[in-house]
Amino acid sequence: MFPDLTRDDVFRIETRRLWLRWPRAADAPAVLQLAGERAVAEMTARIPHPLPRAEVDAFLLDVRKRNAEGAGLTLALSPRSDPRRLIGIVGLFPGEDGAPELGYWLGRPHWGSGLMAEAALAAVDAYFAYAGGEALQAAARLDNPASRRVLAACGFQPAGRARKAFPARGTEVTVDLYRLDRAGWLSRHAPAAEAA
Ligand X SMILES: CC(C)(COP(=O)(O)OP(=O)(O)OC[C@H]1O[C@@H](n2cnc3c(N)ncnc32)[C@H](O)[C@@H]1OP(=O)(O)O)[C@@H](O)C(=O)NCCC(=O)NCCS
Quick check: 164 and 139 in contact, CB under 8 A? yes
Instruction: Measure the CA–CA gap between 19 and 123, rounded to whole angstroms.
Output: 11
Q: At what angle do helices 145-153 and 115-129 cross, to 10 degrees?
A: 50
Task: Figure out which of the listed residues 2, 19, 105, 166 binds ligand X, where binding follows CB under 6 A.
Answer: 105
Quick check: 185 and 134 in contact, CB under 8 A? no
Nearest to 23 by CA among 53, 68, 80: 68
Task: Figure out which of the listed residues 48, 57, 68, 111 binds ligand X, where binding follows CB under 6 A.
Answer: 111
Minimum distance of ligand X from residue 69's CB (angstroms): 24
H-state helical runs in the chain: 28-34, 38-41, 53-69, 115-129, 145-153, 182-189
Minimum distance of ligand X from residue 143's CB (angstroms): 9
179 binds ligand X (CB under 6 A): no
Task: Figure out which of the listed residues 60, 89, 122, 150 binds ligand X, where binding follows CB under 6 A.
Answer: 150
Nearest to 142 by CA among 125, 165, 161: 161
Task: Figure out which of the listed residues 116, 122, 123, 154 binds ligand X, where binding follows CB under 6 A.
Answer: 116
- Beta pairing partners, 172: 165
Stretch in the footprint of ligand X (CB under 6 A) among 10-18, 58-66, 67-75, 111-119: 111-119
Cβ neighbours of residue 75 under 8 Å, at least 6 residues apart?
13, 20, 21, 22, 23, 89, 90, 91, 119, 123
173 binds ligand X (CB under 6 A): no
> Which is closer to ligand X, CB of 75 or CB of 140?
140
127 binds ligand X (CB under 6 A): no
167 binds ligand X (CB under 6 A): no
Tell me, by CB under 6 A, how many residues bind ligand X: 21
> Which is closer to ligand X, CB of 81 or CB of 193?
81
Instruction: Measure the CA–CA gap between 38 and 53, rounded to whole angstroms.
Output: 15
Task: Figure out which of the listed residues 13, 20, 31, 40 binds ligand X, where binding follows CB under 6 A.
Answer: 40
Task: Figure out which of the listed residues 146, 162, 165, 186 binds ligand X, where binding follows CB under 6 A.
Answer: 146
Contacting residues toward ligand X, per CB under 6 A: 40, 43-44, 104-106, 111-117, 140, 144-147, 149-150, 153
